Amino acid sequence: MLDMIKKSLGAKISIAVVGVLLAFFSVLFYMDMRNESEDILKTYQRNAGVLASTIEKGLISAMKEGRNDDVQKALEDLGTQEDIVKVRIFDEKGGVLRSTERGDIGGMVDKETMDLFTDADNPPEYFRSEDVLTFLKPIYNGPECFGCHPPSKKLNGVLDVKISLDRARDDIKRNRVFMLRWGLVTVLGVVLAEVWLLRFLVTRPVRRLRSAMRLAEKGEEFYIDLKGEDELSDLGNVFKGMMEKMSALHGDAVERGKELVRSQEALRSQTVLSSVIDAMPDGVAIINRDMKLLQTNPRHKEIFPQAVVGSACFASIHGREMVCPHCSVTKVFQDGGVHDHHSTVTMADGSVKVVHSISAPIRDMDGHIVNAVEVVRDVTERVTMEKELKEKTWELERVNKKLAKMAVTDGLTMLFNHRFFQDSLKREFKRLARHRALPFLSVAMIDLDDFKKLNDTHGHQAGDRVLRGLSKILKASVRLTDVVARYGGEEFVIIMPETDMEGTAVVAERVRKSVEEAEFVYKDTVLKVTVSVGLANYPGENIRDEDELIKAADAALYRAKALGKNRVVVSEGV
């Protein structure tokens, strides 16, 4: 047994810990039992105090009412209670006046009780001996007592209540036995747990460490798994670190050889990469996080002759003191994406180049961005051509718009021509077919009276002057939604959508009167002319399409001519 303890670290630690635990729990249980006993006695004392107060109030009440026989009977009844040893009332000299035992009446109280009452100015309310708890309650004289006691008397007596502590002692004994049993169980459990923990935390790690050392001694592979921060774990980690360093020293030469091979391969790869970069038709630059040029190819030097390797790109290329606001390289370092942008660069000779650049990240083996590659292309010529093409396209569009307008405009009057009139009238009829809520569509045919005679008298230039003046009157007399066109020769036509015949007649009459009052001056000659107007409205009698509407308006114009000219005539049947 002693040999086993000498050879076992766990056994030594277990014996030491068990001794300490036994001493600790012994002191702990002793103090706990003392406190528990005191608490039980205090509890009994409080309960006894309540009982004594109750007895006091009952007896004093009976005495004040003069029921002396009831007082004695009540005391005798109290004497039969289990925990009450004796209840007495004695006077100032110790003579017993009332008692639970009639044989005590007339006798004297014991010296111990009398000493408690007389030896102090303020006698204690209770006194606890080994087996008895004594309560002393003075009964003072008062007006309600003067019937039996003279007023000069200060104290009528002292209530002496003695209560047994036997039950309290029994409770204390039972509690001590209970605590002792559980204390033994607790100590036994703690000892078993301590032995198991020592086996788990000390003995097992020591055995593992010893086995690992023996394997290492033989040169075999070993494994140590000691978790924690205690001395054993630290010892295992130190041994493990020592063996790892030895292993690292052994493999260092091999690793350096591999590193040399990798460096040679990287050098060859870099040479190949540099050849590829130099052969690229676009400019290529390698830029670090400080925005410094690390490497450029020949094409990059052709595009940016001012670029200097080792300097900041924004300084040597763009002549700036800070990074360019829209630099794609800075965005690459920020989010690791691929970015492109256009920029203009002013060269040393004052010329301006437009370049398009694409920037991408260069990552190390761990995926961290270390540098950025920027591929640039001189797009000055392409941008110039695009700008010229855009300008020519704009000019072509402008000319086309002018031609389109000329295609529908009468060159003399600048009104819409006959073709545009026909197209507009067809569109209006289609619109009427789609929207049945639009009820009316009117057409006014206008013709200059005796225009041939004016041309023969004053010349065609005078006639042109009148035609231009008439076109201005027509434009000023209609709405923006109306269409005014030259129908042919001296004939004009007006399309008035959503206008009934009454409204059309008002417009036509306004035109006729304005022409009649107008004076057209040509070479100091004032020319006066009139117009005849024929009106037709859709829907109307025998008017179902645009051709019938024009035909009806033309017939009305013919009637206006026949009736004497310079008038407005409405189509028949409207």
Q: For 79-120, how does the pLDDT look when each residue is reduced to its tens digit (9 = 90+)? A: 777 778 788 888 777 788 778 877 778 788 877 777 766 654
Name the range with the highest mean pLDDT among 212-221, 360-369, 457-466. Answer: 457-466
- Compute the 3-state secondary structure of the chain and give helix, strand, coil in percent, each to the nearest 5: 55, 20, 25
Taking the CA atoms of 113, 119, 123 and 126 in sequence, report the sign of the dihedral they define.
negative
pLDDT band at 572 (very low <50, low <70, confident <90, very high): confident
Q: How many CA atoms lie within 13 A of 526 on its CB side?
A: 4
The pLDDT of residue 125: 63
The pLDDT of residue 223: 62
DSSP state of 154: S
pLDDT digits (tens, 9 = 90+) for 145-161: 766 777 777 777 788 78
Strands 155-164 and 84-90: antiparallel
DSSP state of 571: P
Q: Is the peptide bond before 539 cis (omega within 30 degrees of 0)?
A: yes
Look up residue 397 and give its two tokens: 């569009």
The pLDDT of residue 531: 96
Top pLDDT among 282 and 467 is at 467
Q: Which amino acid is at 359?
A: S
> How far is CA 194 from its chain centroid?
52
The pLDDT of residue 235: 65
The pLDDT of residue 527: 93
Average pLDDT in the 558-567 region? Answer: 95
Rg (CA), the chain: 65
Name the range with the highest mean pLDDT among 184-198, 242-256, 397-411, 487-501. Answer: 487-501
Q: How many CA atoms lie within 13 A of 95 on its CB side?
A: 5
Look up residue 276 and give its two tokens: 């590829």
Alpha-carbon distance of 495 to 431, in angstroms, equals 14
490 classed as catalytic: yes
pLDDT band at 574 (very low <50, low <70, confident <90, very high): very low
The pLDDT of residue 550: 93
Name the range with the highest mean pLDDT among 78-87, 135-144, 338-347. Answer: 338-347
Choose, from 374, 428, 490, 546, the residue flagged as catalytic. Answer: 490
- Mean pLDDT value across the chain: 80
Average pLDDT in the 474-483 region? Answer: 93
Any alpha helices (H) in 478-520, and if so which ranges? 501-517
Across 347-479, the runs of DSSP E, i.e. the strands, are 352-363, 369-378, 441-448
The pLDDT of residue 484: 95
Average pLDDT in the 456-476 region? Answer: 94
Look up residue 346 and give its two tokens: 């002013």
Average pLDDT in the 222-227 region? Answer: 62
